A = this chain, B = another copy of it.
Amino acid sequence: MNIKPIIEHFANYSPLNALEIKELELRLFERNIKRKQFILQEGDVCKHYTFVVKGCFKMYKVDKKGNSHNLQFSIENGWIGDIGSFHTEKASELYIEAMEQSIILQIAKQDLLYLYIHHPKFNLNFRVLIENAFVSLQKRVLQNISLTAEERYLDFLNNYPRLLNRISNVQIASYLGVTPEFLSKIRKDIVSR
């Protein structure tokens, strides 16, 4: 199991000492996930936090009409999971699906709680992680309520250049909250200027 990526990841926050690394490693497990495989489906309880070592995931909800709406993408060195379901231990309404062949590290709830209690550094690091994610989500809400679809698309291009050659415009449209047809028109308008 290669835990180097996650150790380096935490080094960007409060770096882990040798004991913390050992305690973390004891509780992580590695999985290989095939393209189109799910690590969470609607109705499941989300039992793990997932760190992406390699690959790409989308988390989305399917509405009553059967349309999917992408809430989040995660690639290398990112986290993904349904935090609400994880904490309440109630059925999730979300799907998490690999968009590429992927390698992940997972930690179960009781193991994470153990780390929180015995090694407060993890409490600190996960608090900072989620604070950053929260701030990003606030920006997205502000964009959703104040910008046009074209402005949101241009902003997406600026903010997530690493995603562009990995995911289709259908997926981007679903993330932005527009139809693929309309995104196609937006792209046409942009190039013809």
Contact = CB atoms under 8 A, between A and B. Distances in A.
B175 A145 contact: yes
A174 B61 CA distance: 25
Interface stretch (A50-58, A99-107, A121-129, A163-171): A121-129
Contacts of A174: 145
Interface stretch (A2-10, A31-39, A133-141, A184-192): A133-141
B144 A145 contact: yes
A127 B124 CA distance: 8
A175 to B, nearest CB: 7
Contact of A71 (B87, B123, B138, B176): B138
Interface string A64-78: 000101110000000
A43 interface: no
A171 to B, nearest CB: 13
Interface in A137-186: 137-138, 140-142, 144-146, 174-177
Q: What are the 3 A-B residue pairs with the smallest beta carbon separation, nearest first?
A: A145-B177, A127-B127, A144-B144
13 contacts: A69-B142, A69-B146, A71-B138, A83-B135, A84-B138, A120-B120, A123-B123, A127-B130, A130-B131, A133-B134, A137-B137, A141-B141, A144-B144
Given A120-B123, A141-B144, 13 more contacts: A61-B146, A67-B146, A84-B135, A87-B128, A123-B127, A127-B130, A130-B131, A137-B138, A141-B141, A144-B145, A144-B177, A145-B176, A145-B177
